[in-house]
Amino acid sequence: MRKLLRNLKSSLFSGNNLSLKREIATYLPENPIIIEAGAHIGVDTLEFNKIWPGATIHAFEPVPNIYKELQKTTRHLSNVITYPLALSSSTGRADIHVSSGDSDGSSSLLSPKDHLTEHPSVFFSRTIAIDTITPDDWQLEYNIERVDFLWLDMQGYELAALKAGTQLLKTTTAIYTEVFLKELYEGAPLYQEVRSWLEGHGFKVEKEEMDWDSVGNVLFVRKG
């Protein structure tokens, strides 16, 4: 059971939304290869496994104490591979702004901006150094042949990582990503910029979920 401080993350993203994941399944092969970036404690990871028991799920979570919980959540699943890393625009080390208060799931490589006023009960009182890797470097290092589906919950860093993963994207069929309508973090691109970039790389909007005035989620699928 998730603690109260995780409730903001589950409402901003779509944890426990099996119907959405079943809809996404219609675009994917029976046993897809999935990247989950910002896996948190593994709520969505378990749902992916329920819908695609034959999938290979690569789950990334860079915050150390949360990563340990992700490991516990998924330790019985041989098809889930966890990484204590953040997908990023570069491979190496970076500082992450760690969230606390009403959400421990809002940590970002970007400095908080409008997030401080939109969600004043979420705090960013410390930064820690974490390991990062680009999607393309990860694919080469781990000898990954293809990735069918990206599930991105990276607190404003989604587009930066996508731009460092253009080789990986060549095999990708669908992307479900958080998008911002306000600059919740310094330099975070807004939805239109993300949409324009993905449309320029062969994807189209299939479904929009804009339940908040500052943030939403969008499903992109490869154009036919």
CB within 8 Å of 103: residues ≥ 6 apart: 5, 6, 7, 8, 9, 119, 122
Return the residue matching tokens 């500052």: 214
CA distance 70 to 36: 12
Instruction: Look up residue 50 and give its amino acid.
Output: K
Q: What angle do CA 7, 89, 170 make, to 5 degrees?
A: 95
Please provide residue 32's backbone torsions phi and psi, each rounded to the nearest 5 degrees.
-75, 160
What's the token pair of residue 85? 């890393």
* CATH class given for the domain over 4-222: alpha beta
Find the mean pLDDT for residues 27-44: 97
The 10s digit of each residue's pLDDT in 57-68 is: 999 999 999 999
Domain residue ranges of the chain, discontinuous segments joined by + = 4-222
Evaluate if residue 14 carries a pLDDT over 60: no
Please state the pTM of the whole predicted model. Answer: 0.92
Find the mean pLDDT for residues 205-209: 96
- Give the number of C-alpha atoms closer than 13 A to the C-alpha of residue 52, restricted to the C-beta side: 24
Q: What angle do CA 139, 141, 145 make, to 5 degrees?
A: 40
The 10s digit of each residue's pLDDT in 171-206 is: 999 999 999 999 999 999 999 999 999 999 999 999
Mean pLDDT of the chain: 93
Evaluate if residue 50 carries a pLDDT over 80: yes
